[in-house]
Amino acid sequence: MFPSRFDYKSPTSLEEAISLLAANEDAKVLAGGQSLIPMMKLRFAAPAVLVDINNIPGLDGHGAQSDGSYRIGALVRHADLEKSSTLGDHQPTIAAAAPLVADPIVRTRGTFVGSVCHADPQGDWASCMVALGGSIVAQGPNGRRTIAVDEFVSGPFQTVLAADEIAVEAVIPPASGTRKGGYLKLERRVGDFATAGVALSLEMSGSTVAKAGIGLTGVGSSTISATEASAVLVGSSLDDATIAAAAEAAAAATSPRSDHRGSADYKRHIVATFVRRLLAQHQPVEAKVA
Amino acid sequence: MTLFEEVPVTTTDDIPVRRVEMRVNGETRAANIEPRLLLAHLIRNGLQLTGTHTGCDTTNCGACTVLFDGQPVKSCTVFAVQADGHDITTVEGLATASELHPIQEGFKDEHGLQCGFCTPGMMLSAKALLDENPNPTEDEVRWALSGNLCRCTGYQNIVKAVLWAAEKMRGGAPADASADDGGDA
């Protein structure tokens, strides 16, 4: 399969890339290309110009900042996150999801930020970003702006990025306590999209939940933020009754479709089960005994 | 004058052809290409290195896997222009003139293939794993190969082949699980 014809630009600075986007109507940014290139081959996408950002230095770093936030540059590959020895200490939710994104070969090439920009309702990273309250930093001709992920994604495969803006990094805000969390995904085989996935973020103050976020993958027409379920958790010590209530609230927040991956009821059941499992991992010892 | 002489077609298209230069299996190769040419097609049709197989052409199967600066990529999902200035290894880069690569030996010794279509991709994923982790567990081998699909073997002998190669590359004598397959040794 061949994509439609396009012109290819490989700028070596962000400024050059942004001016190329501004000068060319129907231009598209190419980072890892693991969603864009298949879509171009199927002719679901046919940009006239591809602006390849892979030769721009300084976009491939990720790490904790002095203010406690965590930044992930636009060229950080899924595999960079999967193989990081320090990510788990700072961002357990992202560290848990990294090995479950696509398959090992796609992970060497595909990027975290590119995946969020692709805005596939079945994307794993969007759920993590929703759970963690993350933002995307976009750079355009007039400088940078920070956009919360729930505003950034405006619909399936749609974002609020302007035609002359590039998503340069993702930012996870500092935790207000000890950060805990995880990601669970049910897939029929490696590399498939999630039948259902749950991202959990907890900020613990001692054994009490100070802040919580739950993002759901593949169980609605967009990534779902299970806000009622996370509200149930705040102030609790993750006792069994709270966990059961959160699982029920998360399942109620979904609107899955029955398809070849499973029935709607099955997917709701998986979401409740995953929420229970993830929370049980972080249940304080005394709550388990009670 | 022959009966047929192909002449270049002139095009009004203003998309420029790009010259790219890359190291393929250690050798510098250059080509003029259209940006939409996929790396898999440059390798197979342009460079005539047909060991790289195109399976699904939809980023699923991993048959077209090559190493891009040492990392496995699906060459059907990378544009050839993106390889400009980079280092590509295909299955043809594994063996030397005189001997097979230990991974190839492992696949031969442990019967790690049946139809052989997925084998080049499997071997390159295995090479990337062993370059990074010379002593993988069986689980780590299975994990590393989980992006490469095989419709014949059930994967058992592929995993054995990679473990065999790992041991050989570490300098040990691989425990020859199939030593008695030949019968009256």
Residue B34 confidence (pLDDT): 94
Q: Is B81 within 8 Å of A54 when comparing Cβ atoms?
A: no
What are the start-end ranges of the E strands in chain B?
Answer: 18-24, 27-33, 65-68, 71-74, 87-89
What residues of chain A lie within 8 A of the CB of B35, using their CB?
5-8, 50
The answer to whether the CB of B58 falls within 8 A of the CB of B83 is: no
Spatial CA neighbour of B20 closest among A146, A8, A273, A154: A8
DSSP summary character for residue A166? E
Residue B11 confidence (pLDDT): 62
Q: Please check the confidence at residue A287 and state whether its pLDDT lies above 70.
A: no
What residues of chain A lie within 8 A of the CB of B34, using their CB?
5
- Encode pLDDT of A45-82 as tens digits: 999 999 999 999 999 999 999 999 999 999 999 999 99
Residue B15 confidence (pLDDT): 73
Test mutation, B59, B88, B118, chain A, max A CBs within 10 A: B59
Which CATH number covers residue B161? 1.10.150.120
> Does residue B68 lie in a domain region?
yes
CA atoms within 13 A on the CB side of A238: 26
> B174 CB contacts (<8 Å, ≥6 apart)?
B106, B109, B164, B165, B167, B168
Instruction: Answer yes or no: is the ipTM higher than 0.85.
Output: yes
- Encode pLDDT of A155-169 as tens digits: 999 999 999 999 999
Q: Please check the confidence at residue A289 and state whether its pLDDT lies above 80.
A: no
Residue B174 confidence (pLDDT): 78
Spatial CA neighbour of A104 closest among B69, B168, B148: B148
Q: Is A2 within 8 Å of B38 when comparing Cβ atoms?
A: yes
| Dist. CA B97–CA B85, nearest whole Å | 26
The phi, psi pair for A181, rounded to 5°, reads: 160, 180
DSSP summary character for residue A175? P
The answer to whether the CB of A243 falls within 8 A of the CB of A288 is: no
Put simply, whether B89 touches A (Cβ < 8 Å) is no
Is B79 found in the same domain as B34?
Answer: yes
The answer to whether the CB of B14 falls within 8 A of the CB of B31 is: no
Q: Is A41 within 8 Å of B57 when comparing Cβ atoms?
A: yes
Task: Kindly tell me the burial class for residue A107, based on how many C-beta atoms sit within 10 Å of its own C-beta (0-12, 13-18, 19 or more).
Answer: buried
> Does residue B130 lie in a domain region?
yes
Which CATH number covers residue B25? 3.10.20.30
- Looking at 3.40.50.20, 3.40.50.410, 3.40.50.150, 3.30.43.10, the CATH number of the domain A7-52 comes to 3.30.43.10
Residue A284 confidence (pLDDT): 78
Number of domains comprising chain B: 2
The answer to whether the CB of A13 falls within 8 A of the CB of A53 is: no
- Of the two residues B6 and A109, the one the predictor is more confident about is A109
Ranges in chain B, pLDDT < 70: 1, 10-13, 175-185
What are the start-end ranges of the E strands in chain A?
Answer: 7-9, 27-30, 49-52, 62-64, 70-73, 135-140, 143-148, 153-155, 158-159, 166-172, 178-186, 196-205, 208-217, 224-225
Q: Please check the confidence at residue A186 and state whether its pLDDT lies above 50.
A: yes
